């Protein structure tokens, strides 16, 4: 039951093979068995069973959707009415959201069953899930290793079969990197494709929610529910939503794949490179053609990102001041004390580091040298991608330079940690959609293949990933102890 | 005045835009609700919420821009102004910095009969903050976020005013304009219209500006004048006694009638403005502008000119009648309805009516005498049914009651008597009773004529047609 796809589960629910309550109960039991992974911050058992009962009624009535009755989970960055929404931070440990994020509303009206809220790096700042106030999530493939971040709870939960599917968010790689390190499928949609309303902001111009699933086929179903214009989010785009499942079986004959030489140079682990080479060979067999391309500005992505994202976060996180909600220090003596201690005690180290970096970059006298310059680089990076995507249909490359590293290995060295997002960050700066697809193993740890497409080409990306998953079985493999 | 000093003043006016909902949320902007009942999730700055721009606020800013003949930016950008304050929920205010919606424009003011053009640097859209309440909380501070997110238009003038008098004239003119345009209710007690004044002094003839002080949040015309005069005096005294003006923000205390320092430039915030990534740039094309231009109301200056030409009014009456759009509209409706000479209508509106309104502390929109009822009265003056003197009596009844002029005239029997028989009988009696005066008149003392008119009118309780009385008296006394 845990290894079935959404379509298979939907079939089972309709044929009466099992009810949503049974399915939900089975997943809730499994979550209890595997608390050591620390994937969930909050398990909403009662709400889940209620939703499952409602789904069973809908299924009987015959007005169910594909996701009706399917047990899934939300990254704890999405506001869920009446349920703690912590964003992985002590700051919001006491925060019960009074409203639902648009994405949450959409899953609710589709009849999906929310099992709980998933662990994550604090305020989505981190690449290893170690910055979470609730402790690190463990990688189901190697219990002493990180699952990646910031959507580490989501990736670990899917890999360990603690939910059928889950939401993630991706600001610099936070869906794709943990998907790669945990051997699951993750899709970061085009910026503006999925509403950000109710998704606690880290860096507003980069944040984008997306599906995290075992297969591309499941991701297509999830994205169908998540995508769309939202009048409550001015940056969401009012474009028609294609049928993401319709083109999954299109042939890849003649597909033009670009391989940027900058993605395969120094810094890429040799085992990972070899695994990716094998994956790309599969695409050749499927009829694709390879072109080597160059995107010289890619090397500027990390410095540009670490100006823009912290700058935006320094303002986005100002609302956490101990005045209206969230953590408030004890017995403040005056206003300054209330601010400094509430924020000083409520935020973790990495969050403070980024607030400081951003505040500095926006300060009088530095603004032009940092923020304005970073925006110019951002434009150059977009131009590089646009030029490349005029020549090729998609760009492929690694998601991460290495496989899952050890817990504690990089947390003391921020620069080294930041470099684990070297292949994903540029895509956020350009606002493009990209996927991470399980592409094999290096020394028994999962490797992800990144597929980057043009704006709003999610249907194409899903088709390309699905075709690969028809001829490979990496995405169906289960970590030991979680079969 | 032979001061060796020259004053330089620039004003920043905050006009609250009269939209129904807030600039970035759907919450109501109505004043005076229970604290925090008009603050939605967006206004509270809850985690995850996003702003959505209210198009009506943009429309109003563009209307304003057109009225001051300013450049309307085809591309303007909202920016975050970062600072911490308990009544600023997000820790930043959404405002505009580098690319404001309204560019360079101007406003003409009249001081002592001289017209002066004041340049306007820019006008930009922003959200208001909430209110901190320091009373009744036992040493704590209460926060009311009802006002948070209310749309403001900040209008920045050039430093081109050289006296408190000019500053007040500018502020009054701006107040009149925004109300005319229907984009701000102008209520200064409620803070809908307030200003900051940048004041500096320099020796006469010097080109460079002196160091300025900014006086914050002045919410009445009287206080603007007082605050500026005080600040100018303070700066001159300071310099003349060997001191130096420092750039700082000052607060005007209307109780003590003085300004005092809030913070100096060194302590000033670095607001770290940057474009708000939650909002798209505001794009304004020619079609949008054409649509607004077509709906732009006639502006005060143009209306005044038209009143002078179309109704042949003098400058004083034309100025007075166009001082508010509602008053001008009232006047034009009276003229249309009364079919009487516009001059008489103007005299009645600016005379009896405005006097009564002023006395009662009412606005023209709350006038107990509607334009129809006033026109009804003016009709009866024009057709000689009543005299001007009786008309004042009728007006009083109009003010106090609900009857029409015709009903009042009928009920109180105020109709002018033109029945020559009745007038003749009275004249005969008065002449018989005052033979002495008749003799005097006939022997050439023309002055006595007034005596007879007075007697006849008195006898007829003012209701006799004065023209008729004159004519008949002249014939009889011959």
- How does pLDDT run along chain B (478 residues), one tens digit per residue? 578 999 999 999 999 999 999 999 999 999 889 999 999 999 999 999 999 999 999 999 999 999 999 999 999 999 999 999 999 999 999 999 999 999 999 999 989 889 999 999 999 999 999 998 887 788 788 999 999 999 999 999 999 999 999 999 999 999 999 999 999 999 999 999 999 999 999 999 999 999 999 999 898 999 999 999 999 999 999 999 999 999 999 998 888 888 888 876 666 679 999 999 999 999 999 999 999 998 888 988 899 999 999 999 999 999 999 988 899 999 999 999 988 889 999 999 999 999 999 999 898 989 999 999 999 999 988 887 887 788 898 999 999 989 898 888 888 877 777 677 778 888 888 888 888 888 888 888 888 888 888 888 888 777 777 777 888 888 888 7
Which tokens in the block code for residue B208?
């460079």
Sequential DSSP letters for A315-349: HHGGG-SSSSSS---SS-SSHHHHHHHHHHHHS-H
Q: Considering the entire predicted model, what is its pTM?
A: 0.89
Q: Are residues A41 and A177 in the same domain?
A: yes
Q: Do A79 and B270 touch (CB under 8 A)?
A: no
SS3 sequence of chain B = CCCCEEEEEEEEEEEECCCCECCCCCCECCCCCCCCCCCCHHHHCCCCCCCCCCHHHHHHHHHHHHHCCCCECCEECCEEEECCCCCCCCCEEEECCCCCCECCEEEEEEECCEEEEEEEEEEEEEECCCEEECCCCCCCCEEECCCCCCEEEEEEECCCECCHHHHHHHHHHHHHHHHHCCCCCCCCCCCCEEEEEEEEEEECCCCCCCCCEEEEEECCHHHHHHHHHHHHHHHHHHHHCCCCCCCEEEEEECCCCEEEEEEEHHHCCCCCCEECCCCCCEECCHHHHHHHHHHCCCCHHHHHHHHHHHCCCCHHHHHHHCCCHHHHHHHHHHHHHHCCCHHHHHHHHHHHHHHHHHHHCCCHHHCCCCHHHHHHHHHHHHCCCCCHHHHHHHHHHHHHCCCCHHHHHHHCCCCCECCHHHHHHHHHHHHHHCHHHHHHHHCCCCCHHHHHHHHHHHHCCCCECHHHHHHHHHHHHC
Kindly state whether residue A196 falls inside one of the protein's structural domains.
yes
Q: How far is A56 from chain B (nearest CA, A)?
A: 31
Q: Which of B51, B90, B274 lies nearest to residue A371, judging by beta carbons?
A: B274
Residue A366 has pLDDT above 80, yes or no: yes
**Per-residue confidence (pLDDT) for residue B281, from 0 to 100:** 97
The residue ranking higher by pLDDT, A355 or B439, is A355
Q: Do B47 and A95 touch (CB under 8 A)?
A: yes
User: Is A447 in contact with A404 (CB distance < 8 Å)?
Assistant: no
Residue of chain A whose Cα is closest to the Cα of B144:
A324
**Per-residue confidence (pLDDT) for residue B267, from 0 to 100:** 64
Residue of chain A whose Cα is closest to the Cα of B44:
A324
Q: Are residues A184 and A82 in the same domain?
A: yes
Which tokens in the block code for residue B181?
């345009």
Cβ-Cβ contacts under 8 Å, B80 against chain A: 315
Which class for A171: exposed (0-12), middle (13-18), buried (19 or more C-beta within 10 A)? buried
Cβ-Cβ contacts under 8 Å, B129 against chain A: none
Angle at A369 (CA atoms; ends A366, A375), nearest 5 degrees = 115
Q: How far is A2 from chain B (nearest CA, A)?
A: 32
**Per-residue confidence (pLDDT) for residue A102, from 0 to 100:** 98
Q: Do A200 and B48 touch (CB under 8 A)?
A: yes
Kindly state whether residue A245 falls inside one of the protein's structural domains.
yes
Closest of A420, A419, A449, A421 to residue A435, by C-alpha: A449
Model pLDDT for residues A51-87, shown as the tens digit of each residue: 999 999 999 999 999 999 999 999 999 999 999 999 9
Q: Are residues A348 and A212 in the same domain?
A: no
Kindly state whether residue A350 falls inside one of the protein's structural domains.
yes
Q: Please give the Cα distance from B188 to B179 (Å, whole number).
A: 12
| CA-to-CA separations, B241 to B46, B56, B228, B229, B237, in angstroms, rounded | 53, 52, 20, 18, 6
Q: Are residues A114 and A193 in the same domain?
A: yes
Query: β-strands A113-118, A71-75: how paired?
Result: parallel
Q: How far is A436 from chain B (nearest CA, A)?
A: 26
Kindly state whether residue A335 falls inside one of the protein's structural domains.
yes
User: Is A135 in contact with A128 (CB distance < 8 Å)?
Assistant: no
Q: Are residues A213 and A328 in the same domain?
A: no
Q: Are residues A227 and A325 in the same domain?
A: no
- Look up the CATH number of the domain holding residue A231: 3.90.1300.10
Q: Which of B48, B82, B270, B279 has the highest number of chain A CBs within 10 A, making it the mutation to test binding with A? A: B48
| CA-to-CA separations, A152 to A73, A148, A189, B422, in angstroms, rounded | 13, 5, 18, 108
Mean pLDDT for chain A? 97
Model pLDDT for residues B285-299, shown as the tens digit of each residue: 999 999 999 888 898
Q: Do B48 and A197 touch (CB under 8 A)?
A: yes
Q: Which of B53, B91, B277 lies nearest to residue A318, judging by beta carbons?
A: B91
Residue of chain B whose Cα is closest to the Cα of A99:
B41
Domain with A307, as residue range(s), is: 300-375
Model pLDDT for residues A206-256, shown as the tens digit of each residue: 999 999 999 999 999 999 999 999 999 999 999 999 999 999 999 999 999
Name the interface residues of B facing A (CB cutoff 8 Å): 41, 44-53, 80, 82, 84, 86, 89-92, 143, 270, 272-274, 277-280
Return the exposure string of B367-379: e unless at least 16 CB atoms fall within 10 Å of the residue's CB, then b: bebbbebbbbbbb
A288 band by pLDDT with thresholds 50, 70 and 90: very high
Cβ-Cβ contacts under 8 Å, B45 against chain A: 319, 324
Q: Do B143 and A323 touch (CB under 8 A)?
A: yes
Kindly state whether residue A269 falls inside one of the protein's structural domains.
no
Sign of CA dihedral A454, A457, A458, A464: negative
Q: Are residues A304 and A176 in the same domain?
A: no
**Per-residue confidence (pLDDT) for residue A301, from 0 to 100:** 96
Q: Which residues pair with B218 in a beta bridge?
A: B195
Q: Are residues A181 and A319 in the same domain?
A: no
Domain boundary pick from A329, A346, A375: A375
Q: Please give the Cα distance from A367 to A358 (Å, whole number).
A: 10
Name the interface residues of A facing B (CB cutoff 8 Å): 78-79, 85, 87, 92, 95, 97-99, 101, 196-201, 203-205, 231-235, 311-312, 314-315, 317-321, 323-326, 335, 339, 359, 362-364, 367, 371
Q: Please give the Cα distance from B254 to B190 (Å, whole number).
A: 16
Q: Are residues A251 and A308 in the same domain?
A: no
Which tokens in the block code for residue B277?
């990534």
Cβ-Cβ contacts under 8 Å, B51 against chain A: 234
Q: Do B41 and A199 touch (CB under 8 A)?
A: no
Angle at A111 (CA atoms; ends A156, A72), nearest 5 degrees = 5
Q: So where are chain B's domains?
A: 5-288, 298-411, 420-477
Residue A52 — φ and ψ, nearest 5°? Answer: -65, -40
Q: Do A325 and B274 touch (CB under 8 A)?
A: no
Residues of A serving a catalytic function are 75, 150, 174
Q: Which of A101, A324, A431 has the highest number of chain B CBs within 10 A, making it the mutation to test binding with B? A: A324
Residue A424 has pLDDT above 80, yes or no: yes
Kindly state whether residue A398 falls inside one of the protein's structural domains.
no
Residue of chain A whose Cα is closest to the Cα of B279:
A234
Q: How far is B153 from chain A (nearest CA, A)?
A: 21
Q: Are residues A323 and A249 in the same domain?
A: no
Domain boundary pick from A357, A375, A393: A375
Closest of A200, A249, A250, A208 to residue A226, by C-alpha: A208
Kindly state whether residue A17 falls inside one of the protein's structural domains.
yes
Q: Which of B48, B90, B273 lies nearest to residue A79, judging by beta carbons?
A: B48
**What's the structural domain count of chain A?**
2
Length, in residues, of chain A: 483
Residue of chain B whose Cα is closest to the Cα of A312:
B277
Q: Which of A98, A199, A319 lies nearest to residue B89, judging by beta carbons?
A: A319
Q: How far is B340 from chain A (nearest CA, A)?
A: 55
Domain boundary pick from A345, A375, A405: A375
Per-residue pLDDT, averaged over A332-360, amounts to 97
Kindly state whether residue A468 falls inside one of the protein's structural domains.
no
Q: Are residues A92 and A17 in the same domain?
A: yes
Q: Do B48 and A323 touch (CB under 8 A)?
A: no
Q: Do A97 and B47 touch (CB under 8 A)?
A: yes
Q: Are residues A246 and A316 in the same domain?
A: no
Q: How far is A236 from chain B (nearest CA, A)?
A: 10
Q: Do B41 and A99 touch (CB under 8 A)?
A: yes
Residue B102 — φ and ψ, nearest 5°? Answer: -115, 130
Q: Do B48 and A319 touch (CB under 8 A)?
A: no
**Per-residue confidence (pLDDT) for residue B418, from 0 to 100:** 67
Task: Look up the CATH number of domain B420-477.
Answer: 1.10.10.410
Q: Do B47 and A79 touch (CB under 8 A)?
A: yes
């Amino acid at each position: 039951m845990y290894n079935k796809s959404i379509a298979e589960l939907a079939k089972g629910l309709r044929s009466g093979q099992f009810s949503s309550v049974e399915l939900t109960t089975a997943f809730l039991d499994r979550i209890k068995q595997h608390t050591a992974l620390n994937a969930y911050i909050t398990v909403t058992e009662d709400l889940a069973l209620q939703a499952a009962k409602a789904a069973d009624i809908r299924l009987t009535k015959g007005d169910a959707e594909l996701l009706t009755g399917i047990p899934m989970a939300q990254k704890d960055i999405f506001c869920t009415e009446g349920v703690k929404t912590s964003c992985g931070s002590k700051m919001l440990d006491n925060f019960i959201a009074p409203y639902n994020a648009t994405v949450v509303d959409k899953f609710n009206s589709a009849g999906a069953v929310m099992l709980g809220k998933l662990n994550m790096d604090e305020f989505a700042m981190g690449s290893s899930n170690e910055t979470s106030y609730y402790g690190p999530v463990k990688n189901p493939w190697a219990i002493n290793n990180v699952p990646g971040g910031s959507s580490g709870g989501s990736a670990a939960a899917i890999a360990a079969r603690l939910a059928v599917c889950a939401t993630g968010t991706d600001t610099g790689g936070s869906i794709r990197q943990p998907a790669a390190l945990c051997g699951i499928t993750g899709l970061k949609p085009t910026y503006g494709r999925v509403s950000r309303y109710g998704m606690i902001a880290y860096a507003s111009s980069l944040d984008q929610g997306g599906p995290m699933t075992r297969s591309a086929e499941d991701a297509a179903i999830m994205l169908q529910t998540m995508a769309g214009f939202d009048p409550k989010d001015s940056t969401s785009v009012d474009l028609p939503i294609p049928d993401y499942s319709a083109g999954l079986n299109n042939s890849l004959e003649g597909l033009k794949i670009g391989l940027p030489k900058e993605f395969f140079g120094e810094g890429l682990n040799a085992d990972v490179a070899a695994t990716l080479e094998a994956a790309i060979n599969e695409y050749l067999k499927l009829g694709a053609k390879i072109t080597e391309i160059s995107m010289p500005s890619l090397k500027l992505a990390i410095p540009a990102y670490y100006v823009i994202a912290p700058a935006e976060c320094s303002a986005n996180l100002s609302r956490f001041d101990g005045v209206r909600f969230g953590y408030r220090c004890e017995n403040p003596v005056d206003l300054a004390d209330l601010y400094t201690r509430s924020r000083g005690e409520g935020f973790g180290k990495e969050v403070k580091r980024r607030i400081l970096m951003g505040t500095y970059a926006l300060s009088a006298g530095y603004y032009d040298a940092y923020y304005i310059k970073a925006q110019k680089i951002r434009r150059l990076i977009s131009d590089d991608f646009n030029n490349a995507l005029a020549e090729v249909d998609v760009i492929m490359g690694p998601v991460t330079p290495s496989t899952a590293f050890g817990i504690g290995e990089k947390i003391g060295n921020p620069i080294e940690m930041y470099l684990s997002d070297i292949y994903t960050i540029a895509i956020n700066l350009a606002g493009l959609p990209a996927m991470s697809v399980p592409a094999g193993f290096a020394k028994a740890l999962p490797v992800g293949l990144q597929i980057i497409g043009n704006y709003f080409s999610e249907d194409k990306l899903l088709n390309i990933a699905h075709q690969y998953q028809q001829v490979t079985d990496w995405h169906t493999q289960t970590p030991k102890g979680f079969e | 005045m032979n001061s060796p000093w020259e004053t330089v003043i620039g004003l920043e006016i905050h006009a609250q835009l009269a939209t129904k909902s807030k600039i970035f949320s759907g919450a109501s902007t109505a004043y005076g609700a229970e604290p925090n009942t008009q603050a939605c999730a967006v206004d509270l700055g809850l985690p995850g919420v996003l702003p959505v721009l209210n198009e009506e606020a943009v429309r109003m800013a563009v209307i304003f821009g057109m009225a001051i003949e300013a450049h309307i930016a085809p591309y303007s950008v909202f920016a975050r102004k970062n600072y911490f304050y308990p009544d600023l929920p997000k820790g930043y205010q959404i405002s505009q910095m580098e690319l404001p919606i309204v560019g360079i424009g101007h406003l003409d003011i009249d001081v002592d009969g001289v017209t002066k053009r004041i340049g306007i640097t820019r006008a930009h859209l922003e959200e208001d903050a909430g209110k901190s309440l320091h009373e009744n909380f036992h040493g704590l501070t209460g926060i009311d976020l009802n006002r948070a997110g209310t749309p403001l238009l900040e209008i920045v003038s050039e430093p081109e005013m050289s006296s408190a008098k000019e500053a007040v004239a500018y502020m009054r003119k701006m107040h009149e304009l925004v109300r005319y345009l229907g984009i701000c209710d102008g209520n200064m007690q409620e803070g809908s219209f307030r200003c900051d004044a940048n004041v500096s002094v320099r020796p006469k003839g010097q080109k460079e500006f002196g160091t300025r002080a900014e006086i914050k949040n002045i919410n009445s015309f009287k206080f603007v004048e007082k605050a500026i005069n005080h600040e100018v005096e303070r700066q001159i005294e300071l310099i003349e006694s060997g001191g130096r003006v420092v750039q700082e923000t000052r607060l005007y205390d209307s109780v003590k009638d003085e300004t005092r320092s809030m913070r100096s430039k060194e302590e000033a915030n670095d607001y770290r403005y940057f474009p708000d990534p939650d909002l798209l740039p505001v794009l304004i094309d020619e079609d949008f502008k054409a649509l607004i231009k077509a709906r732009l109301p006639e502006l005060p200056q143009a209306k005044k000119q038209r009143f002078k030409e179309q109704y042949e009014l003098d400058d004083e009456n034309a100025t007075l009648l166009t001082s508010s759009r509602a008053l001008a509209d009232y006047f034009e409706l009276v003229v249309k309805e009364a079919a009487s000479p516009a001059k008489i209508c103007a005299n009645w509106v600016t005379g009896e009516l405005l006097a009564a309104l002023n006395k009662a502390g009412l606005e023209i929109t709350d006038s107990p005498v509607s334009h129809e009822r006033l026109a009804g009265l003016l009709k009866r003056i024009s057709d000689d049914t009543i005299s001007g003197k009786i008309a004042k009596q009728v007006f009083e009844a109009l003010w106090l009651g609900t009857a029409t002029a015709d009903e009042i005239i009928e009920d109180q029997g105020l109709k002018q008597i033109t029945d020559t028989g009745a007038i003749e009988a009275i004249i005969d009696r008065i002449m018989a009773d005052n033979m002495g005066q008749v003799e005097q008149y006939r022997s050439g003392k023309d002055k006595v004529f007034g005596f007879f008119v007075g007697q006849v009118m008195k006898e007829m309780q003012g209701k006799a047609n004065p023209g008729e009385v004159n004519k008949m008296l002249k014939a009889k006394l011959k």
